[in-house]
């Protein structure tokens, strides 16, 4: 690990080790070396995701939210889960201030990312395989790639 570091870093680590390597502070110098090495080996979460091919949490949540949206709209209209999505309270007014983000508004934002409107999405949900392709495309576009 130390051999792969840049020459300046190796020189700095050697200097720190020689200066502080008296017998009375060997343990302290050992921990200092570990801290310096760990600070040089910082790997960001983005780098780890790129190396492992994992999606961001945001794209995973977006895909699952759209999958649930399609799942509920493929249900019979008598089912409670389907009725809850279309349900609105009559004469309801929100309080002052910033409006809370509803599940429906977040789904609409996800659909905007795909370039779909709510009505177009409802038409697509009738065909399961097409909706599955659409949600997979959402995950790929969130990563900045196109579907293969």
The DSSP string of the chain is: --TTS-HHHHHHHHHHHHHT-SGGGHHHHHHHHHHHHHHHT---HHHHHHHHTPPPHHHHHHHHHHHHHHHHHTS-TTSHHHHHHH---TT--PPSSSPPPPHHHHHHHHHHHHT--HHHHHHHTTSHHHHHHHHHHHHHHHTT----
| Summary mean pLDDT of the chain | 75
- The answer as to whether 92 is a domain residue is no
**Domain identity same for 23 and 68:** no
Res. 20: pLDDT tops 70: no
| 109-122 pLDDT, tens digit each | 988 888 889 899 98
Which is higher by pLDDT, 93 or 2? Answer: 93
107/136 same-domain check: yes
Do residue 63 and residue 134 come from a single domain?
Answer: yes
Each residue's pLDDT tens digit, 71-99: 998 888 888 888 888 787 788 887 888 88
| Domain-embedded: residue 2 | no
In-domain check, residue 109? yes
Question: In the chain, how many domains are there?
Answer: 2
| C-alpha torsion sign, points 131, 135, 136, 137 | positive
pLDDT given for residue 45 in this prediction: 82
Token pair in block for residue 49: 């995701």
pLDDT band at 39 (very low <50, low <70, confident <90, very high): low
Q: Which residues contact 100 (CB under 8 A, 6 or more apart)?
A: 94
Q: Which of 16-30, 48-62, 83-97 is least confident?
A: 16-30
Q: Which domain holds residue 35?
A: 7-42
Amino acid 114: pLDDT: 84
Same domain, 123 and 68: yes
- Contact in structure between 70 and 135 (CB atoms under 8 Å): yes
């Amino acid at each position: 690990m130390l051999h792969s570091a840049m020459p300046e870093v190796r020189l700095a680590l050697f200097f720190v080790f020689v200066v502080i390597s008296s017998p009375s502070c060997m343990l302290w110098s050992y921990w200092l070396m570990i801290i310096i090495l760990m600070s040089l080996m910082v790997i960001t979460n983005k780098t780890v995701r790129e190396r492992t091919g994992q999606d961001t949490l945001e794209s995973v949540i977006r895909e699952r939210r759209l999958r649930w949206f399609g799942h509920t709209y493929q249900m019979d209209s008598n089912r409670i889960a389907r009725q809850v999505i279309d349900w609105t309270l009559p004469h309801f007014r929100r309080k002052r201030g910033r409006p809370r983000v509803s599940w429906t508004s977040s789904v609409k934002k996800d659909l905007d990312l795909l370039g779909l409107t709510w009505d177009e999405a409802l038409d697509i949900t009738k065909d399961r395989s097409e909706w599955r392709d659409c949600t997979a495309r959402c995950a790929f576009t969130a990563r900045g790639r196109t579907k293969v």
